[in-house]
Amino acid sequence: MKKLIALALAGVMLFNTPVMAAGANWEAEDDDDWGDDDDWGDDDSGDEDGEDEEDNEEKKGSLSPSASSVAGGSCSTQPETSSPSPVTASAPAVEASSVPADIVAAAAAEGKTVGEYLNNAVASVPGLDYVVPVGQGGHVIINGAPSNQVFSVLKPTLGIVHSAKTFAASLGGRVLNVVRINASISGFRTARVNFYMKGVRDGQNIKVFQIFNGQWLEVEVAEIREDHVVVDMTSLGTLAFIEMPN
């Protein structure tokens, strides 16, 4: 009986030994698969298993996008993009809007650009390809006395321009400009008016004519100097500045 018990115990021991060895080998291979502690950063070899798991969770969290970035539909590792800024109005539009509406309307009523209106000038005339601008800055001498009077320089009708061109051609001259002159006063005997004409040369041969009842009559020119033609008028009306051949 004792022999049977001894044999039975020996069989049990032989059966359990391979199983224990196999278990030891699996655990060793499993540790090798995870690598050394140095692969995970600043781990202390004496940390408890619970602390290792917490460290692993923190490392995994740092490698994944945050909840807020995922909820927003973008990953925090991607560069942020911004929507294009709204297009603002162009420089020309800003300049146009800076002019008061009443000035724009007044210029349009006279058939002028805003620049012509503000400078009391005529720089373009229908029917004329070449135009010397005519402007007037005030200080008209009325009946021999200085004044602050300004004579308005306005655009003529197309029919008057054609008439002036025909008249100038009969003289062998060239029309430089045709303007209609108006003022707040009338009934003066004489008015010496200094017209600003950019480009006029000192002593240039220019004659000035005023239309009366369809006829062009010469008006006295008091002075011609650089950029200026001074005219003695006896009434308001339409003037034609004609360059004559020398």
Structurally, how many domains does the chain consist of? 2
Q: Do 116 and 177 meet the contact criterion of CB atoms below 8 Å apart?
A: no
Residues 205-232: tens digit of each pLDDT: 999 999 999 999 999 999 999 999 999 9
Q: Do 117 and 107 meet the contact criterion of CB atoms below 8 Å apart?
A: yes
Residues 39-95: tens digit of each pLDDT: 333 444 444 444 444 444 444 444 444 433 333 444 444 444 444 444 443 444 444
- Is the residue at 17 inside a domain? yes
Domain that holds residue 23: 1-33
Same-domain pairing of 118 and 223: yes
- C-beta neighbour count of 171 within 10 angstroms: 13
Residues 81-132: tens digit of each pLDDT: 444 444 443 444 444 468 999 999 999 999 999 999 999 999 999 999 999 9
- Is the residue at 78 inside a domain? no
Q: Where are the beta strands (DSSP E) in 12-161?
A: 121-122, 134-136, 141-142, 152-154
Q: How far apart are CA 30 and CA 246, in angstroms?
A: 115
Q: How far apart are CA 198 and CA 227, in angstroms?
A: 5
Same-domain pairing of 16 and 128: no
- C-beta neighbour count of 77 within 10 angstroms: 9
Average pLDDT over residues 119-146: 97
Residue 195 has pLDDT above 60, yes or no: yes
pTM, two decimals, is 0.61
Higher per-residue confidence, 200 vs 69? 200
Q: How far apart are CA 13 and CA 206, in angstroms?
A: 138
- Is the residue at 88 inside a domain? no
Residues making up the chain, counted from first to last: 246
